Amino acid sequence: MNRVKLDHIDRNILHDLQDEGRITNVDLARRVGISAPPCLRRMRALEEAGYIRGYHAELDPMSLGFNVTVFAQVGLDSQAEPDLVAFETLVRGWPEVRECHMLAGETDFLLKIVAEDWETYQRFVTEKLTAAPKVSHVKSALSIRASKNQPGVPVDINEPA
């Protein structure tokens, strides 16, 4: 994957796409101050270089029946790389786990889990999570509400080229 040296226009493209992934190429080009064909070429170059990993729709969990979000701190009884990788591989197959982060410190993994209700989450913990190989403990924190949910990274559009 070849990295593209980001100039002001590239940073503006990334900024605007991150805020509004469904923007048309014509509108994006207008916003960043170039014509549509070079804008599309730049977008493709940013995708190929790995700056843009994909596009998605943000869904409302509650509208789809997922009324509970829980952050689970998971500890394993082994931090050997094969055991860590095996746990990550297992977690990828659980659709209720929406994020998985390996941490430094006393917690090995932080999982963001969605469920229809508390009972469904408890069943997931007892039947899947604590039953998983090498899991030694799970500490759950129920999310009461999210006051900020902004995916991505802060793209500085004012940084000099």
**Which pLDDT tens digit goes with each residue over 47-77?**
999 999 999 999 999 999 999 999 999 999 9
Q: Is residue 80 part of a domain?
A: yes
Whether residue 31 sits in one domain with residue 75: no
159 has pLDDT over 80: no
For residues 14 and 21, give the distance between their C-alpha atoms in angstroms, rounded to a whole number: 10
User: What are φ and ψ of residue 92, in 5° steps?
Assistant: -60, -25
Domain around 94: 65-142
pTM: 0.87
Number of structural domains the chain divides into = 2
71, containing H or E segment: strand 68-76
Q: Is residue 101 part of a domain?
A: yes
Q: How many other C-beta atoms can be found within 10 angstroms of the C-beta atom of residue 73?
A: 17
State the amino acid at position 86 in one-letter form.
Answer: A
Which two three-digit tokens encode residue 114? 């969605």
Whether residue 138 sits in one domain with residue 109: yes
Q: Convert the pLDDT of each residue in 12-52 to its tens digit.
A: 999 999 999 999 999 999 999 999 999 999 999 999 999 99
CATH of the domain at 113: 3.30.70.920
